[in-house]
Amino acid sequence: MINVQESILQVKNLNVQTKTPQGTTPLIQEVSFEVGRGQILGLIGESGCGKTVTSMSILRMLDRKTTEVTGSITLQGRELIGISEKDMRSIRGKDISYIMQNPMNSFTPVWTIGHQLVETIRRHTAVSKRQARSQAMDALAQMNLPQPDQLFNKYPFELSGGMLQRVMIAMAACMHPPLIIADEPTTALDVHNQKRLLQHLNQIRHDYGTAILLITHDLGVIAEMADQVVVMKQGEIVEKAGVLELFEQPKHDYTKKLLAARPSIPAVCSI
């Protein structure tokens, strides 16, 4: 039984500002939310509203020389702000997996898919190369990828975008991370692959109790997947609500505008 009351990620009073020749510019202001075990939190808003900056802050991947991050980000009670880069590298991939919009950016083009899966597993666990290979093959098979033994020896450029996305999810799933951050994971996919990807994410959260921060502008994906929703505008949170409440009774004018902007399919008139 998954304890949804158990908090996996807590973000409190997050502020991010960047240094410019003219001074400092705020990117994120007083952002607070949390994600429980086995829960999917949708983070929505227009492009440039701060969704990706928020995820990069959690992953500690913003340039520390040009940006300042204050507040609190805790993963299973462990504070991430102020943590050393060495410690953070051991957390990324093992405790936090990141699924990005363009899967090609996640893989090194000169190494095979299998090599990269095996190295990821061995970097974070004490298993042998043979055991890591077995885990990687199982992970690929669970994603319903065809002929995983052949896929293992292919290079990233030999796979379609949809297949690479599923390999990336397989890589995330085989580590059973407490948290997955999925940043616009369906944008470059056709409808069929979008559905398969969402099904895989849903399966991971049910099987392992993984918390998922789902960042997207696609309100259809949010309606299908999210338990809770956070709405951002210009670096600030303007509304937080359960997914049903948000769609049925939005409170903030900006949320109402987002919902009103959803494309609708007109009824076909019979002649």
- 121 belongs to a structural domain: yes
**Which pLDDT value is given to residue 271?**
42
- 108 belongs to a structural domain: yes
Do 215 and 180 contact (CB within 8 A), yes or no?
no
- 225 belongs to a structural domain: yes
CATH of the domain at 93: 3.40.50.300
In the chain, the number of structural domains is 1
Do 99 and 179 contact (CB within 8 A), yes or no?
no
Q: Collect all residues with Cβ–Cβ distance below 8 Å to 260 and sequence separation of at least 6.
A: none
The SS3 call for residue 32 is strand
- 266 belongs to a structural domain: no
pLDDT tens-digit readout, 194-247: 888 888 889 889 988 999 999 988 888 899 999 999 999 999 999 999 999 999
pLDDT tens-digit readout, 99-148: 887 777 778 889 999 998 898 888 888 888 899 898 888 888 877 777 88
Using pLDDT thresholds of 50, 70 and 90, give the confidence band for residue 167. confident
Using pLDDT thresholds of 50, 70 and 90, give the confidence band for residue 56. very high
Cα-to-chain-centroid distance, residue 125 = 22
Q: Which uninterrupted H or E stretch holds 25? A: strand 23-36
Q: Look up the domain containing 131 and give its range.
A: 7-260
- 2 belongs to a structural domain: no
**Helix 161-174, helix 113-124: angle, nearest 10:** 20
- Which residue, 76, 151, 142, is CA-closest to 114? 151
Integer Cα distance of 73 and 57 in angstroms: 9
